[in-house]
Structure 1
Amino acid sequence: MPDRHLTIRALLTGIVLGAVLTPCNIYSGLKIGWSFNVSIIALLIATGLWALMDRLRIGAPLSVGEGNIAQTTASSSANIISGGLVAPIPALAMLTGSNLPTGQLLAWVYAVSFLGIWVAWYLRDSLILRSGLPFPTGRATAETLLELFNKGREAALKLRVLIASTALAGGVKWLDTGWLPLPRPSLGFSLPAAGKLTGLGAVTAKNLTFTLDPSLMLAGFGAIIGFRAGVSLLLGGILSWGLLGPIGLYQGFVTPGEADPDLAWFAAMIEWLLWPGVALMVGAALTKFAFHAYASRRQQAEHLRATEPGHAAWLRLLGLVVASALVVLAQVSFFDIHWVIAALAVPIAFVLAMVASRVVGETGIPPIGAIGKVSQLSTGVLAPGEMTANLIGANVAGGAAGQSADLLNDFKAGHAIGAPPRLQVVAQIFGVLTGSIVGSLVYLSLIPDPGSMLITEEWPAPAVATWKVVAETLSQGLSSVPASALWAVAIGALSGILVTVLEQRRGLRWLPSMPAFGLAMVIPASLSITMFFGSLVAKLLERWSPTLAQRFLIAAASGLIAGESLAGVARALLGIIG
């Protein structure tokens, strides 16, 4: 009997899992600007749930094809943050003073993500069938999918680890925010008052955000990103908050917060520190982007042309046209953007999504931040001084690129098991609809007042800070930027470019990871410290027992992220209700 794929139960399973996991990415995106791919988690839960129902004789196990549809639906839902909910949308809200109305927000997030689906299907022939790019995330998903149906006991063990770590992280977060507050001790040093700070007293480690944060979610992220990125975060945090920050405070170009030794000065100091941090990340990302684009261009010329058998070219083209029209209409209707600028945002988004998808195919890392900055620069040239057009145009590119990359990973996994791509597109459409509804409602519930809540120690929102400052700068010109910040931008950008060139050309893998190093400059040092310890524990486990780490590390780390995120969202929602 042929394998089943798009069944009602597979689609509903993916929708439910997407609704549960989407808040995790909204929460972590607003906390540290990062998200995690839920494909493997969704696979483990979906297959485990239906296997349990089979044992209870109230259902049958999922087939391989149904598992693929369930994870495609769930991952597209959780990936809805690429539609702007943790970057350009909050940045625009901070500039205008209020969030979008609920209906407009839902429609907008869906429109830009919907465009990404059709871009991905249009690119499938080139990137999946012809070029044979590895798409690491998609390949890992395919291997997990096949393993789940070949080794049932192994899948059950991984699911138990996932559930246990989820419960642990969720319980710790719940106690930390309610019944049993856990201490966040300072690291125990202070700096003598001097220069511009005379009269404020000593500058404490707490002022500089050097505290110990008992966040298992951050530790889970550290375990996933690896030891090199963890060390880079630690070094970046020490350099920015332990060296550049104090120097800036004494010289007067960094603004101190209130004269309270127990108060973190994140909101005040980040106004200057984000300049070198953003410049370093953008310089490194665009340089790597250029290397990959050049390499991909050479590889494309070497591959034979092929076509996807039986695909409906007219349907892909029609979907792309309809999605493009929806995005243009939404820009004009919701944001009063001139129709010419709105229309030009679509081809820019298509080109940037195409390049981003190729980068994801080679490295597994979506360069959504760099894509957004390139689009902001493009819109800044086309519509100078218009911050709304700048952010929304970049939002179109980022949303299309994010969903395109996610679906291409799903296409890679589906290709490995012979899944019809049109069925995966249907699953993605339902997933994006789920994510748009759940993600928008969760964001509005968590951040009802973006102006006062974001870019604070509680909600650092580094992606929001970077998109906001670029839009403000392009609207006012470089004359509004302090001279010290311009020097910091130049040095940060050159450093990011130089280190990336050395890494790519010379293979110097011992150099710090520039994206992680730059990120440490725009989040509190406490977050970087915790993620470093998570990466250190993972490294020690890999050294002590490589087999154990390979089998269970990702499942355990993913559970820590999911558990704390879900508990944090639940706590915030209960606080609003109460």
Structure 2
Amino acid sequence: MRAKHLTIRAILTGILLGALLTPCNIYSGLKIGWSFNISIVALLIAAGFWALLDRLRLGSALVAGEGNIAQTTASSSANIISGGLVAPIPALAMLTGANPPPGQLIVWVFAVSFLGIWVAWYLRNSLILCSGLPFPTGRATAETLLEIFDKGREAALKLRVLLASGLLAGGMKWLDTGWTPLPRPGFGFHLPALGQVAGLGTLSAKNLTFTLDPSLMLAGFGAIIGFRAGISLLLGGILSWGILGPLGLYQGFVSPGDADPNAIWFASMIEWLLWPGVAIMVGSALAKFVLHALSSRRRGASRVQSEETKSARPMRLAGLILASGMVVAAQIGFFGIHWLVATLAVPIAFALAMVASRVVGETGIPPIGAIGKISQLSTGVAAPGQMTANLIAANVAGGAAGQSADLLNDFKAGQAIGAPPAFQVVAQIFGILTGSLVGSLVYLRLIPDPAGMLITEEWPAPAVATWKVVAETLSQGLASVPPSALWAVGIGGLLGIAVSAIEHRRGPAWLPSMPALGLAMVIPASLSITMFFGSLVAKLLERWNPSLAQRFLIAAASGLIAGESLTGVARALLGMVG
């Protein structure tokens, strides 16, 4: 009997979970610029739900193939933020003064994500079958998938841990923002060693974003990304907000905010600090791509014959042509972009999606922000002075890269159980359809006034800040970039390249994670501190009880993220209704 994979209940389960969890990534993306891969969360919930129905004799438990389809659908839905909802779209709205109409936004986000699906199917043979890249997220999902359907009791325990931690984080978030007037801790102590800065009085730690954020969601992120990334975030926060920021304020190339010890100067200081941060991420990503490509060529990677039939190849070609046509037509029709610039965006997106997918395959970290900046620079050359074209063409690259990386992780998980890749492509299409609809509507409800709400303490939106500033700068030509920023870009890029080269030769031991270090420069230091503490707690748990950590750490951390994100979205929506 052939194993079940693409069933109606698997697709519907994935759609419902995607609709539930997509708002979490919209919320966290606008808060900290990061998204959460919900593959394992969706897998645990789907398996637990159908196992419960089986126990109550109201249905039958899922099989492994159905679980893979359900998590593929849900993860692609939640990953819809790579289609622009937390970066280029809000950045464009801040520049133009208004969000796109709902229907236009839904179609646009679907189109750029749809392109990524066909790019991933083309890359599957080279990156998974031939290169055999680890794809850490996909491998973790595969291990969870095999474990759940081998050990039903273990899956039930993990699901209880996930739900308990979700209720804890959701309850804390609700109390913090809802029923009680609890102030968010902000220890803005003075730094007398800095003295007077530009006549603004004594500089406080709170001015520099060094506060304590009691967010269990951020702690959950820290637990998942690991101690190396966590301590890299802490180092990056100290380097940028504790050293470069005050130095820039003293020298005058970093802009201060309000002359108030309790004011947070994130919005003004980020306009300079994003340059070294983005340069570090871009330099690191490109260096890793080039070094891995050279290593693969020297090794002479063996060719692996794909198990797909020849009949699937015309389907892939037709899908890629259709997706490319949709993206070009949407750029021209919705945003008035010249047809030549719109067409050039497609091959640039394909190339950069390959870069992002290889980096994800090696490290598990999707460099979507860095990919967007590279695309912005490319479009800046092709269409100088055109901010809309700059953001939208780069949106094509970011959306394609994000969905390509997500599907390749799903392909890696499906490979472990022999899932037909065509079935996973179908699941991914249902997922992005769900995510485009739900994600767009949630974004429009959360952020009805991007210009007034974003790049603030409530909604830091670091990705929006970086895309917006780059577009504004390139609209005036490279000559408008301050000399201090150009030096920061050069030094940051060289640092990212050098550390990545050393890591490639000698391994990551005792070296900071460059993507995390760069990210810390474009988010408030308070977020980096909390994520560091989350990674530290996870590291101590792994040392104290490795077995317990291996069994329940991911489930507990995922629950913290899902619980606080969902509650934050609910509170924001209720506040608008009220």
TM-score, with structure 2 as normaliser? 0.96
- Change in CA separation of 1:225 and 1:152 when aligned onto 2, cut-off 3 Å: same
**Which of 479-488 and 257-266 deviates more?**
479-488
Q: Which runs of 5+ in 2 are unaligned?
A: none
1:265-287 CA-partner distances (Å, limit 9, x unpaired): 11122222222222222222222
**Which of 263-272 and 326-335 deviates more?**
263-272
1:136-187 CA-partner distances (Å, limit 9, x unpaired): 2222212211111110111111101100111111110111112222440406
User: Structure 1 residue 190: deviation in Å?
Assistant: 3.1
Give the match for residue 210 of structure 1: 210
Instruction: Report if aligned partners of 1:192, 1:201 keep a CA contact under 8 Å in 2.
Output: no
Give the match for residue 24 of structure 1: 24
Structure 2: distance between partners of 1:362 and 1:249:
38
Give the match for residue 178 of structure 1: 178
SS state of the match for residue 302, structure 1? Answer: coil
SS state of the match for residue 417, structure 1? Answer: coil
Give the match for residue 240 of structure 1: 240
Give the match for residue 138 of structure 1: 138
User: Structure 1 residue 501: deviation in Å?
Assistant: 2.0
Give the match for residue 94 of structure 2: 94
**Which of 377-386 and 211-220 deviates more?**
377-386
1:24-73 CA-partner distances (Å, limit 9, x unpaired): 11111111111111111111000100111111111111111111111110
Q: Map residues 365-384 of structure 1 onto 2, 5 A cutoff.
A: 365-384=365-384
User: Structure 1 residue 440: deviation in Å?
Assistant: 0.6
Structure 1: distance between partners of 2:202 and 2:572:
34
- Change in CA separation of 1:352 and 1:67 when aligned onto 2, cut-off 3 Å: same
- Change in CA separation of 1:308 and 1:206 when aligned onto 2, cut-off 3 Å: same
Structure 2: distance between partners of 1:68 and 1:434:
17
Instruction: Report if aligned partners of 1:293, 1:359 keep a CA contact under 8 Å in 2.
Output: no
- Change in CA separation of 1:106 and 1:499 when aligned onto 2, cut-off 3 Å: same
- Asked whether 1:536 is paired with 2:532, we answer no
User: Structure 1 residue 247: deviation in Å?
Assistant: 2.1
User: Structure 1 residue 222: deviation in Å?
Assistant: 0.7
**Which of 417-426 and 564-573 deviates more?**
417-426
Structure 2: distance between partners of 1:310 and 1:145:
29
Structure 2: distance between partners of 1:286 and 1:128:
20
Structure 1: distance between partners of 2:300 and 2:436:
35
Q: Map residues 109-508 of structure 1 onto 2, 5 A cutoff.
A: 109-180=109-180, 181-186=182-187, 188-191=189-192, 194=195, 196-198=197-199, 200-298=200-298, 301-309=301-309, 311-507=311-507
**Which of 336-345 and 411-420 deviates more?**
411-420
User: Structure 1 residue 482: deviation in Å?
Assistant: 2.2
1:518-564 CA-partner distances (Å, limit 9, x unpaired): 21111111111111111110111011001111111111111111111
**Which of 488-497 and 60-69 deviates more?**
488-497
1:280-314 CA-partner distances (Å, limit 9, x unpaired): 22222222222223334445643344452364211
Structure 2: distance between partners of 1:561 and 1:384:
40
User: Structure 1 residue 74: deviation in Å?
Assistant: 0.3
TM-score, with structure 1 as normaliser? 0.96
Structure 1: distance between partners of 2:194 and 2:20:
49
- Change in CA separation of 1:129 and 1:522 when aligned onto 2, cut-off 3 Å: closer
Identity %: 78
Structure 2: distance between partners of 1:225 and 1:468:
27
1:309-335 CA-partner distances (Å, limit 9, x unpaired): 364211111111111111110000001
Structure 2: distance between partners of 1:293 and 1:398:
21
Structure 2: distance between partners of 1:283 and 1:563:
35
Instruction: Report if aligned partners of 1:193, 1:201 keep a CA contact under 8 Å in 2.
Output: no
Structure 2: distance between partners of 1:106 and 1:94:
19
- Asked whether 1:69 is paired with 2:86, we answer no
- Change in CA separation of 1:134 and 1:283 when aligned onto 2, cut-off 3 Å: closer
What amino acid sits opposite 1:353 in the alignment?
Answer: A
What amino acid sits opposite 1:190 in the alignment?
Answer: L
Structure 2: distance between partners of 1:139 and 1:192:
49
**Which of 258-267 and 183-192 deviates more?**
183-192
Structure 1: distance between partners of 2:358 and 2:276:
28
What amino acid sits opposite 1:72 in the alignment?
Answer: T
SS state of the match for residue 178, structure 1? Answer: helix
Structure 2: distance between partners of 1:184 and 1:430:
42
Structure 2: distance between partners of 1:445 and 1:239:
36
What amino acid sits opposite 2:428 in the alignment?
Answer: Q
Instruction: Report if aligned partners of 2:286, 2:355 keep a CA contact under 8 Å in 1.
Output: no
User: Structure 1 residue 192: deviation in Å?
Assistant: 6.3
What amino acid sits opposite 2:537 in the alignment?
Answer: V
User: Structure 1 residue 252: deviation in Å?
Assistant: 2.2
Q: Which runs of 5+ in 1 are unaligned?
A: none
* CA-based RMSD: 1.8
- Asked whether 1:562 is paired with 2:562, we answer yes
What amino acid sits opposite 2:448 in the alignment?
Answer: P
User: Structure 1 residue 196: deviation in Å?
Assistant: 4.7
User: Structure 1 residue 194: deviation in Å?
Assistant: 4.6
1:226-260 CA-partner distances (Å, limit 9, x unpaired): 11111111122122222222222222222221122
Give the match for residue 59 of structure 1: 59
Residue-pair matches, total: 577
What amino acid sits opposite 1:324 in the alignment?
Answer: S
